[in-house]
């Protein structure tokens, strides 16, 4: 008998992806196939299938045994978790090895699913789709660095351009350079110097995919004291990233400051990943380097979605899911998103399309911390939102969401938010975070977070006054606490406050 889990969305069976790369073999089980996929389980094994492949032409026997043992375990976990569908993807090492076909046969027998062995262009396209899935209107070049190869693709919105594949994966480059970091830089420089895809990306964004580059970014976060540890959409200015890569590629990993932030299994390939990224920056001259937690696996899942779901906003989809799972009334959260349109118009605060989208997400997330003790709802909500597995949002936007919901609970004068979080956003965004937080404080005082109430009220600007208009049958909801919160909100824009009962 299937257990009912109120903390999970049960409108679809779990789907699993087994990703067989040149360095790692990974299983990721997602709650269901959706626009904002949520991971139920994630495990990787660093098997090194591509180790020595360039010289022997074969995947090492011990690496194969390790990979098959992992896949045997993955299959058992899939059965245990009720996975309905298993997708198995194999990349550079499997497609290039002379013993790849025998390995595929064994994998299919263990996994109970067909293996899709991706060509270089197919691998590049799916990685690029991961960027399309995870970023709003991406514009630049995606680079997926695996153990065996590097895939580069030009991306403009949802249009995927030409792709290129280079044998510059960490294991391949380590073997080709004989472990010499300086020679690795030379090999990468020679290979990438004439790349048309990189040259087309000048002044645009480079989207970095792959475990080695994520480890590089994690080290950068630690060394700079960055206040978040969320990898997706972590951005580095190109010049800063180039200097950092140069430092990492020319030093032994164990000698680097804060190297404990990187797992020991990732450290040996870190200088080679840094060498490749440094050369990419040199050739492309991007405006910034942005890390992506999404790549080939998520690109594959995105491709499985019908067009209508692909077109959904992933941030709003994820926020609606959290409202459904955690708020007192999901319907009220949706009503709040509509009601706040009028509230912001009355406040006279102009918004960009980007800011209006974030405001809608704040409304959907405003009540997710209600089960916590009243004194800790703000802090708990802030921590959940700041660290949530959101996609389609940059780090300043993420900080805005967290701060707005924090102000909604703690009050507009609260200043004990997560140290450093406010440094990620500018003054304009903090002003708007306080405004939306203040508006929601008024709305919740009227509605008690129940549906069918605030959609019968509205805010207006009448001369120098911010006016809350209530219908006569809701007049009893007015009172001192409502007026105090309305005055706090009005003060943000130098207005007076009043409550009017409408006949």
Flag whether pLDDT at 11 surpasses 80. no
pLDDT recorded at residue 237 = 97
- Same domain for 133 and 109? no
Residue that is last in its domain, among 240, 264, 299:
299
Q: For residue 121, what are the CA distances in angstroms to 28, 145, 192, 280?
A: 23, 14, 17, 19
Model confidence, pTM: 0.93
pLDDT recorded at residue 414 = 81
Flag whether pLDDT at 4 surpasses 70. no
Flag whether pLDDT at 79 surpasses 50. yes
Q: What is the domain extent for residue 407?
A: 314-502
Counted residue by residue, the chain has a size of 503
Name the β-bridge partners of 235.
Answer: 290
Q: Which two tokens stand for residue 46?
A: 């660093």
Question: CA-CA distance, 324 to 31, in Å (whole number)?
Answer: 15
Flag whether pLDDT at 9 surpasses 90. no
Express each pLDDT in 183-214 by its tens digit.
999 999 999 999 999 999 999 999 999 999 99
Domain count, the chain: 3
**Residue in the block written with tokens 């990787």:** 44
Q: Which two tokens stand for residue 1?
A: 């008998």
Express each pLDDT in 25-77 by its tens digit.
999 999 999 999 999 999 999 999 999 998 899 999 999 999 999 999 999 99
Q: Which run of H or E residues covers position 497?
A: strand 496-502
Residue 306 lies in a domain: no
- Same domain for 143 and 236? yes
pLDDT band at 5 (very low <50, low <70, confident <90, very high): low
Residue that is last in its domain, among 66, 100, 117:
117
- Same domain for 487 and 342? yes
- 423 vs 8 pLDDT, higher one: 423
pLDDT recorded at residue 58 = 95
Which region, left, alpha or beta, applies to residue 433 given φ > 0 means left and ψ of -120 to 50 means alpha? alpha
Q: What are phi and psi of 161, to 5 degrees?
A: -95, -150
Residue 7 lies in a domain: no
User: Which long-range contacts link 303-309 to residues 24+ away (Cβ below 8 Å)?
Assistant: 303/126, 303/129, 304/33, 305/33, 305/34, 305/35, 309/34, 309/35
Assign residue 39 the CATH number of its domain: 3.30.420.40
Do 159 and 139 contact (CB within 8 A), yes or no?
Answer: no
- Same domain for 482 and 360? yes
Residue that is last in its domain, among 269, 299, 329:
299
Residue 1 lies in a domain: no
Question: CA-CA distance, 388 to 252, in Å (whole number)?
Answer: 34
């Amino acid at each position: 008998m299937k257990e009912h889990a109120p903390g999970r969305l049960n409108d679809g069976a779990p789907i699993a992806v087994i990703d067989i790369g040149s360095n790692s073999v990974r299983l990721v089980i997602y709650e269901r196939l959706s626009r904002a996929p949520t991971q139920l389980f994630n495990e990787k094994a660093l098997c090194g299938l591509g180790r020595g492949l360039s010289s022997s032409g074969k995947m090492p026997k011990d690496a194969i045994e390790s990979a098959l043992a992992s896949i045997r375990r993955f299959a058992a976990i899939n059965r245990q978790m009720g996975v309905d569908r298993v997708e198995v993807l194999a990349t550079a090492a499997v497609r290039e090895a002379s013993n790849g076909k025998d390995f595929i046969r064994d994998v299919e027998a263990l996994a109970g699913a067909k293996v899709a062995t991706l060509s270089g262009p197919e691998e590049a396209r799916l990685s690029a789709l991961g960027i399309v899935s995870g970023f709003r209107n991406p514009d630049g070049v995606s680079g997926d660095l695996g153990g065996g190869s590097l895939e580069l693709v030009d991306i403009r919105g949802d249009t995927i351009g030409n792709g290129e594949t280079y044998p510059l994966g960490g294991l391949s480059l380590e073997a080709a350079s004989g472990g010499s970091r300086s020679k690795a830089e030379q090999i990468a420089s020679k290979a990438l110097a004439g790349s048309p895809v990189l040259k087309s990306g000048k002044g645009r964004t480079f989207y970095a995919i792959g475990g080695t580059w994520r480890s590089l970014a994690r080290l950068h976060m630690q060394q700079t004291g960055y206040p978040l540890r969320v990898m997706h959409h972590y951005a580095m200015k190109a010049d800063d990233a180039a200097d950092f890569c140069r430092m990492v590629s020319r030093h032994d990993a164990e000698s680097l400051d804060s190297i404990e932030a990187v797992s020991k299994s990732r450290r040996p390939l870190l200088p080679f990943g840094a060498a490749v990224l440094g050369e990419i920056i040199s050739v492309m001259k991007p405006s910034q380097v942005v890390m992506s937690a999404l790549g080939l696996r998520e690109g594959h899942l995105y491709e499985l979605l019908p067009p209508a779901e692909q077109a959904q906003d992933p941030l709003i989809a994820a926020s609606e899911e959290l409202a459904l799972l955690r708020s007192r009334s999901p319907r009220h959260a949706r009503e709040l998103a509509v009601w706040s349109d009028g509230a912001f118009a009355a406040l006279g605060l102009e918004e960009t399309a980007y800011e209006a989208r974030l405001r809608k997400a704040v409304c959907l997330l405003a009540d997710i911390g209600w089960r916590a003790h009243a004194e800790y709802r703000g802090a708990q909500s802030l921590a959940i939102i700041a660290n949530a597995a959101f996609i389609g949002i940059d780090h300043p936007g993420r900080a805005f969401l967290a701060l707005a919901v924090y102000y909604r609970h703690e009050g507009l004068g609260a200043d004990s938010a997560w140290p450093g979080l406010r440094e990620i956003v500018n003054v304009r965004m903090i002003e708007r975070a306080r405004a939306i937080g203040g508006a929601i404080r008024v709305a919740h005082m009227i509605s008690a977070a129940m549906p069918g109430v605030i959609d019968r009220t509205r805010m207006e600007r009448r001369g120098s006054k911010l006016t809350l208009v209530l219908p006569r049958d809701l007049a009893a909801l007015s009172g001192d606490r409502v007026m105090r919160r309305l005055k706090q909100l009005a003060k943000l824009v130098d207005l007076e406050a009043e409550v009017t009962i409408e006949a």
